[in-house]
Amino acid sequence: MKKILCLNGPNLNRLGKREVDVYGTETYEALENLVVEWSGKLGITVECRQSNHEGVLIDSLHEAFDAGFAGVLMNPAALTHSSYSLRDAIASISPVPVVEVHISNIHARESFRHQSITAPVCIGQISGFGFDGYYLGLLALVRAIQCGEEKKR
């Protein structure tokens, strides 16, 4: 079974308590439970990780490559808008596909959120669909992994 890493960045552990008008009242734990449930339906396995530390997220990306994960679904949170080292880490694990996901619509918020440093090295970005964006991201990864396998044949 294909293994996907679901990686979540700073402050996402505060879901349900932080800015509930933007991110809703559901907790991070509820999000992880949904991601695991959706993975089962899509026939993949998922490992969820969350860290408030840039270096830990970078190490997780490297580990995903070394451990043979088929893809990464990542919400880099605020590091999306600031982190060149995270961008380089994503680029460094190519050809492992990475999908960027955001709960809120970053393009409809403050201007500093409109730019993503990380999206150009991802295969795509999903933004604005709440927790459902994680389902869309998993689906996109499954399709991308299948396409990659067909091309190799």
Q: Which residues form the catalytic set?
A: 23, 102
In the complex, the smallest distance separating the C-beta of residue 82 from ligand DQA, rounded to whole angstroms, is: 9
Helix (H) or strand (E) holding 87: helix 84-92
Helix (H) or strand (E) holding 49: strand 45-50
Helix (H) or strand (E) holding 48: strand 45-50
Of positions 39, 50, 75, 125, contacts ligand DQA by CB under 6 A: 75
Of positions 20, 56, 67, 78, contacts ligand DQA by CB under 6 A: 78
Phi, psi of 148 (to 5 degrees): -60, -40
Of positions 5, 58, 103, 141, contacts ligand DQA by CB under 6 A: 103
Query: Between 15 and 141, whose beta carbon lies closer to ligand DQA?
Result: 15
In the complex, the smallest distance separating the C-beta of residue 19 from ligand DQA, rounded to whole angstroms, is: 9
Query: Between 46 and 79, whose beta carbon lies closer to ligand DQA?
Result: 79
Residues 128, 75: Cα–Cα separation, whole Å: 12
Contact call for residues 117 and 86 (beta carbons, < 8 A): yes
Report if residue 113 touches ligand DQA, rule: CB under 6 A: yes
Bridge-based pairing state of the strands 71-75 and 124-127: unpaired
Report if residue 87 touches ligand DQA, rule: CB under 6 A: no
Report if residue 142 touches ligand DQA, rule: CB under 6 A: no
